[in-house]
Amino acid sequence: MLLQSSLVICRHNTKTACSSAKQKLNSSRLVLDPTWLRSLPNTLTVASSSIHCAHAVRNPGVILDSELSTKSHISKTASACFLDQRRLRQLRDVVTDEVIKQLVTSLVLSRLDYCNSVLFGLPASTLAPLQRVQNVADRLVLRLDHRAHVKPALQRLPL
């Protein structure tokens, strides 16, 4: 009960602060400290609003899970990029190399670059799926076999 009353006070203070700044509060979304999430039920009713606890939330483009890690963000980004690359592979024989480069840059690499500052300092093992996305993009642009090593081909490219 103490937790629920604290949430009511917190929600009221947040709503007041948002309205004074002429911003609208989305009361269906509430981000909580991960230590609180373990003690909460799946659904919580606060001031006649029903709040469902989620394992991950999206904050403009970045997915954070309940432990505030970026593993779910990396996984979703990599899977979306691989899907785009599969579709682009089907177009590879129909369009020119320049068009493939532009499509890979706009569809795949731009998605990798978006909000990549949150990935700074993460270990290479965590970033490995994103590195695989880049390798597949390189193979797609350079028209390499899916088993070919990318590094020698990239070293042969003119600067």
Q: What is the pTM of this model?
A: 0.65
Q: Please write the tens of the pLDDT for every residue from 84-109.
A: 999 999 998 899 999 999 999 999 99
| C-alpha span between 71 and 66 (Å, rounded) | 11
Ranges of each domain in the chain: 2-54, 70-156
Which single residue is written with the structure tokens 């659904």? Answer: 43
Residue 73 burial (CB count, 10 A): 21
Residue of 77 and 12 predicted with greater confidence: 77
| C-alpha span between 45 and 4 (Å, rounded) | 8
Which single residue is written with the structure tokens 């009960």? Answer: 1
Lookup: tokens for 126: 């965590």
